[in-house]
Amino acid sequence: MIPTLLALAFAFPLPSLKPDHVRSAVVAAVPKLLAGATGHAEQKTCFACHNQATPALALRAARDRRIEVSEKFFDAQAEHIAGFLATNKENFRAGRGTGGQAATAGYALYTLELAGYKPDDTTTAVAEYLLKFQPNRDHWATTSNRPPTEASHFTTTYLAIRALKVWGAKTDREQIDKRIENARTWLIKTTTKDTEDRVFQLLAMKEADVGEKELSSASWELLKTQRADGGWGQLDSLGSDAYATGSALYALHSAGGLKVDSPAYSAGVSFLIKTQLKDGTWQVKSRSKPFQPYYESGFPHEKDQFISISASGWATAALVAAMGK
């Protein structure tokens, strides 16, 4: 554990959680995540970060812990996403991108990574687009305002850094390193305003290889906003929910080094298990104004389904980590 997390990590009494409870919660969540991701791909030609990216993160983690998720699911998701990107390949090469711009491109490449997709000329075109996007900035700015998923410059910056490190061409390595170096400075000096910012600042800092001092400070800023119920809220004015809690736990563990058996992590896990619904999902109210025609993806909660499936993905990923190896 990062040293500065030590004090707060023991601020909560250790909840009584049995490993079987955590595993059962994960197993219950898997079918609905599969249904929502598959249902979107069956109905739409576009890529959807909410229905595909975070569910893929959770389902890949679950499969790695020997919970049944067919590899065919990831193959089908990769085929759908790669097809969407290929259709827009010339737009990426021309610097025009697609709807959602860098956020969509970054989330799409991240989901392909989770699906085990291999680099090709399409992924190279998308990575080059991200490299050249907003070249005069020291970060990647979001062009959308659909909170929480597409409203933070930190989110877009993390996705771009990750994509360039994984998918960037070797011939562009010098330019990639320079952009990441500039982003590293921006990440350290820029103030966060909400949980989404703090989560993705921490993830991006880890990806950009900042120093331990800066990483520890960012971890502390996120950890200290944990509530008495063990959860996190998207905003200070909102109650704790599965989206903020799952994403915070995921970032603190994977990037901040918070141990899953620490009281703070266990308190977050307890919150997630207590708030999981009988169908295995978590419902979170949408804060974004709808602009797409309504459709049923196969995930419940009607007009809250997009944020709820993303929340359920984050929550499941956080719970999988608590299962151990």
Q: Could you list the pLDDT tens digit for every one of the 325 residues in the chain?
A: 333 344 444 455 555 677 789 999 999 999 999 999 999 999 999 999 999 999 999 999 999 999 999 999 999 999 999 999 999 999 999 999 999 999 999 999 999 999 999 999 999 999 999 999 999 999 999 999 999 999 999 999 999 999 999 999 999 999 999 999 999 999 999 999 999 999 999 999 999 999 999 999 999 999 999 999 999 999 999 999 999 999 999 999 999 999 999 999 999 999 999 999 999 999 999 999 887 788 999 999 999 999 999 999 999 999 999 997 6
Name the E strands within the chain: 232-233, 240-241
DSSP states of 18-83 as a string?
Answer: -HHHHHHHHHHHHHHHHHHHHHHHHH-SS--IIIIIHHHHHHHHHHHTT----HHHHHHHHHHHHH
| Conformational region of residue 182, where left means phi above 0, alpha means psi within -120 to 50, and beta covers everything else | alpha
- Distance between CA 124 and CA 304 in Å, rounded? 34
The answer to whether 133 and 101 are in contact (CB under 8 A) is yes
Distance of CA 321 to the CA centre of its chain: 14
- Distance between CA 85 and CA 107 in Å, rounded? 12
- Distance between CA 38 and CA 110 in Å, rounded? 17
Q: Is the dihedral of CA 68, 74, 80, 84 positive or negative?
A: positive
Q: For residue 295, count CB atoms less than 10 angstroms from its CB and return exposed for 0-12, middle for 13-18, buried for 19 or more.
A: exposed
Model confidence pTM above 0.75: yes
The answer to whether 288 and 146 are in contact (CB under 8 A) is yes
- Distance between CA 232 and CA 241 in Å, rounded? 6
Q: For residue 76, count CB atoms less than 10 angstroms from its CB and return exposed for 0-12, middle for 13-18, buried for 19 or more.
A: middle
- Distance between CA 119 and CA 208 in Å, rounded? 21
User: Which candidate, 180, 200, 310, places its Cα nearest to that of 255?
Assistant: 200
- Distance between CA 276 and CA 29 in Å, rounded? 9
Give the pLDDT of residue 200. Answer: 98
